[in-house]
Amino acid sequence: MFLDFNFSSIPHIIFGAGRLGEIYEIIPKFGNNVLYVIGGSSLKKSGKWDEIRYEMQKRAINFSEISVEGEPTPALVDEAVEKFRNKKLDIIVGIGGGSVIDAGKAISAMIPKIDSIKNYLEGVGNKIHDGKKIPYIAVPTTSGTGSEATKNAVITEVGIEGFKKSLRHDNLIPNYAVIDPQLVISCPKSVSAPCGMDAFTQLLEAYVSPKANPITDALAKSGIKQMKDVIVPVCNEKASNITARAAMAYGSLLSGIILANVGLGIVHGFASSIGGLFNIPHGVVCGTLLANSTKMNIKRLEQLGAEGENGLLKYAIVGALITGKESFEDINVPHYCSVLLKTLEDWTKQLNIDRLSKYGITTTDIDDIIEKTSLKNNPIHLKIEDLSEILISRI
């Protein structure tokens, strides 16, 4: 491998069960005026929000809150920025799933701007963000997007002219990422399953990305090794097992770190286009399309002959990792590619990942989806008929 790559900075990471309480030591380093961006109900139902409020009051820290339900829209971000711009905030803390983390990231980035976030979104606006922001702490309560470690906030507007685009700058990486697996235990299977598949998709797509490098490869393999044996059990008999939850949180964190560096492939290309056209959870799109997208990539790589050998080897290594294999010299590439595909198909069934049709997507929508779908970091070029076949298989 020719060593020539870039690697972005990462947040100050605090990882471990019970470490949520460390935010009370971090916040005063920035100031005494905090905005909490939280989810619609889960944090409150778990009782954690009451604990946080108590600690804020005990420590005489001024705090406000805003709740985010669903994926953040330009309107939500703009309204929040308008409401809190003059509050002289010292720091923002986002506690929730990927959508909440992204919303907090976007709000922290846009408060210094007298402008709509739309003007700064890639492929939507014509302005480039300068990276100035309010300091930000990200605290995930799901194991899926890895947004606590990325430099972008994904913003969605659903409709015929809809989009799912990023506000991006290296400085938008959270100042701190506090990952406490105890916060994820209350996640139901309906959330944990698609989130887990999203995280694994990110690990896999980053590993086979044309931009992958030795650091991202090592992190991807580490995340895959941790997640492979718990992705299904954590949605069933090990839902309250802190070790299993920690393994998923670890894999999700690493998936965010590496996707920020080497990009993702066709599954996330579909997630972007479908997410802009339909009101469908991001994790569902990734989870439902992962197996068949991987199958198509492997099929086309096989047809390339020698030119596709490196891509096939990487897929085979993931298959070998899933079986617990530690050495990858002289591995049987076709066999372990088959192992990977069989595993992904089994996970999709065992986790009962929804089909696209549940969200109103039909074969008549395929052309519109494909028109908006990017292949930029996929390991192999796919034709329109390939993309169509993948979609049809999960409608």
Per-residue pLDDT at 119 exceeds 60 = yes
What's the mean pLDDT in 265-294?
97
Per-residue pLDDT at 20 exceeds 60 = yes
Categorize the per-residue pLDDT at 367 as very low, low, confident or very high, splitting at 50, 70 and 90: very high
Q: What is the pLDDT of residues 79-102, one digit of tens each?
A: 999 999 999 999 999 999 999 999
What pTM does this model have?
A: 0.96
Residue 12: per-residue pLDDT: 97
Categorize the per-residue pLDDT at 4 as very low, low, confident or very high, splitting at 50, 70 and 90: confident
Residue 3: per-residue pLDDT: 76
Give residues with Cβ within 8 angstroms of 87, minimum separation 6: 33, 35, 64
Count of helix runs (H) and strand runs (E) in the chain = 14, 8
Average pLDDT value for the chain: 96
What's the mean pLDDT in 334-341?
98
Pairing of strands 12-15, 136-140: unpaired
Categorize the per-residue pLDDT at 2 as very low, low, confident or very high, splitting at 50, 70 and 90: low
Q: CA angle, 176 as apex, 172 and 181 as ends, to 5°?
A: 120
29-49 in b/e form (b: 16+ CB < 10 A) is: ebeeebbbbbbeebbeebebb
Residue 373: per-residue pLDDT: 96
Give residues with Cβ within 8 angstroms of 118, minimum separation 6: 74, 124, 125
Is 147 in contact with 102 (CB distance < 8 Å)? Answer: yes
- d(CA 84, CA 303) in angstroms, rounded, equals 55
Per-residue pLDDT at 301 exceeds 90 = yes
* Beta-bridge partner residues of 154: 166
Per-residue pLDDT at 1 exceeds 70 = no
- d(CA 183, CA 137) in angstroms, rounded, equals 15
More confident residue, 160 or 223: 223
Q: What is the pLDDT of residues 122-160, one digit of tens each?
A: 999 999 999 999 999 999 999 999 999 999 999 999 999
Beta-carbon neighbour count of residue 24 at 10 Å?
14
Domains, the chain, ranges and CATH? Answer: 12-184 (3.40.50.1970), 189-393 (1.20.1090.10)
Per-residue pLDDT at 174 exceeds 60 = yes
Residue 76: per-residue pLDDT: 97
